[in-house]
């Protein structure tokens, strides 16, 4: 199958590369320029990738119920997240190894978020360090995505560095006690290009890792860091070493949402890790309302996974999300033109969301009501 998932060829995007109109356009363009090793790493999901496809298609099962004849001439897309104001309820999710998409990688992505007045979440497995990102985008609201590793001193060091560098929250990924099975990476023997590094780690010797079972020595190294003993007591430990707000990323059930509230965290991200950990889970939009009802306003709820259009953002907010985060779309923007590509991508989805807001009869985030979205089976 052609990697553009259609009939397009590399030359077809000469003009479109200058006049992209949607996130799908950015994705198709990225497919023509990214090396296969990087492209497959970014675009692939776990297993048979059924959840990967469903994350996007699930949004179409929710239908909008617009209100008419309302004055929508003045609209405000801003909202508050953890007490701070952002320009729109759309931020950038953590994705690993962004310099494979563009030489400036995470630096360009963070500067784009800064320019757009929104939140950037830096991945632990970044190709730019915590300190480099802080220097590149000093005025950006930055959160740091974190794992609690087997070696707790490694995690503690990352937390202290994030604090010193002005990051405003920790986003703890809780759906990775082991590494998910990503067949494309196994087949490709995925590895970072030689000129890149995992910038938040030093003195990594990959030679001692076996690359046969996991696809590459790099994958084996990352998998070796994960701690399968991780449990709710470890949240207590993390709270004891930092005063930063803690957000749990990877909540998919009401039961775990309630336990997160009991653990006194500050927020949860309804997320299935971009469908990269366990295939066969629900799409995130399908479980969002369950989680929102379970926390009952006691913590903020965010969503990632499958958001590709401004109407998706509207639906997620109507179902109770405070904000959504985009992962792969930012990578496609980087692959197009670095910082400028990410800014253009964000402007497109902001415009789509603003249009959806107006056409549904709303002038602000607060006017988006649950009754404006209906699951198709209830029609």
Q: Identify whether the C-beta of residue 151 lies closer than 8 Å to the C-beta of residue 221.
A: no
DSSP annotation of 283: P
What integer pLDDT is reported at residue 6 of this predicted model? 36
pLDDT of res. 345:
98
Among 307, 180, 327, 174, which Cα is nearest to 253's?
174
Q: Which one from 102, 195, 273, 351 is the annotated catalytic residue? A: 273
**Inter-CA distances, 150 with 113, 147, 154, 311, Å:** 32, 9, 8, 41
Give the rounded distance of the alpha carbon of 29 from its chain centre. 20
What pLDDT shows up at residue 220? 80
pLDDT confidence of residue 205: 65
Would you list the DSSP string of 217-253?
HHHHHHHHH--TT--HHHHHHHHHH--S-EEEEEE-S
Domain ranges of the chain: 34-378
Q: Report phi then psi at 282, rounded to 5.
A: -70, 150
What pLDDT is recorded for position 129?
A: 98
> Which residues are within 8 A (CB) of 91 and not within 5 positions of it... i.e. 6 or more apart?
113, 118, 119, 120, 121, 323, 324, 325, 326
Neighbouring residues of 12: CB distance < 8 A, sequence distance ≥ 6:
32
Spatial distance between the Cα atoms of 280 and 283, rounded to a whole number of angstroms: 9
Q: Is 24 helix (H, G, I), strand (E, B) or coil?
A: helix
CATH, domain range 34-378: 3.20.20.70
* Res 41: pLDDT: 97
Q: Which residues of the chain have pLDDT under 70?
A: 1-17, 204-216, 379
Q: How far is CA 200 from CA 122, 125, 132, 165, 327, in A?
A: 11, 7, 10, 13, 20
273 labelled catalytic: yes
**What are the residues facing 121 on neighbouring strands?**
143
What six digits make up the tokens of 376?
């198709």
> Which residues are within 8 A (CB) of 40 and not within 5 positions of it... i.e. 6 or more apart?
184, 185, 188, 190
What tokens appear for 100 in the block? Answer: 């494979």
- Rg (alpha carbons) of the chain, rounded to whole number: 20
């Amino acid at each position: 199958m052609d990697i553009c998932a259609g009939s397009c060829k590399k030359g077809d995007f000469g003009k479109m590369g200058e006049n992209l109109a949607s996130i799908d356009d950015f994705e198709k363009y990225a497919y023509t320029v990214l090396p296969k090793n990087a492209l497959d790493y970014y675009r692939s999901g776990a297993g048979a990738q059924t959840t990967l496809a469903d994350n996007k298609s699930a949004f179409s099962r929710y239908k909008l119920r617009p209100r008419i004849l309302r004055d929508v001439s003045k609209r405000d897309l801003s909202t508050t997240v953890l007490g701070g104001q952002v320009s729109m309820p759309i931020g950038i999710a953590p994705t690993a190894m962004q310099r494979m998409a563009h030489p400036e990688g995470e630096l360009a992505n963070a500067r784009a978020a800064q320019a757009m007045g929104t939140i950037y979440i830096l991945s632990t497995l970044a190709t730019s360090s915590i300190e480099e990102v802080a220097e590149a985008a000093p005025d950006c609201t930055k959160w740091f995505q974190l794992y609690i590793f087997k070696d707790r001193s490694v995690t503690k060091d990352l937390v202290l560095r994030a604090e010193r560098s002005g990051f405003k929250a920790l986003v703890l990924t809780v759906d990775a006690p082991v590494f998910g099975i990503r067949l494309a990476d196994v087949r490709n023997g995925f590895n970072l290009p030689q000129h890149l590094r995992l910038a938040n780690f030093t003195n990594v010797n990959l030679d001692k890792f076996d690359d046969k079972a996991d696809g590459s020595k790099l994958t084996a190294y990352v998998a070796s860091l994960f701690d399968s003993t991780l449990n709710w007591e470890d949240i207590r430990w993390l709270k004891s070493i930092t005063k930063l707000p803690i957000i749990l990323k990877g909540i998919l059930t009401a039961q775990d949402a309630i336990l997160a509230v009991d653990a006194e965290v500050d927020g949860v991200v309804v997320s299935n890790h971009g469908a990269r950990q366990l295939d066969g889970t629900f799409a995130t939009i399908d479980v969002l309302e369950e989680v929102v009802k379970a926390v009952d306003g006691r913590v903020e709820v965010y969503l990632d996974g499958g958001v590709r259009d401004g109407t998706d953002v509207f639906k997620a907010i109507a179902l109770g999300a405070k904000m959504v985060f985009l992962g792969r779309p930012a990578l496609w923007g980087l692959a197009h033109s670095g910082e400028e590509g990410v800014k253009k991508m964000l402007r497109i989805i902001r415009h789509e969301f603003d249009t959806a807001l107006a056409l549904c009869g709303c002038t602000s985030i607060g006017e988006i009501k649950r009754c404006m979205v209906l699951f198709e089976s209830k029609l």
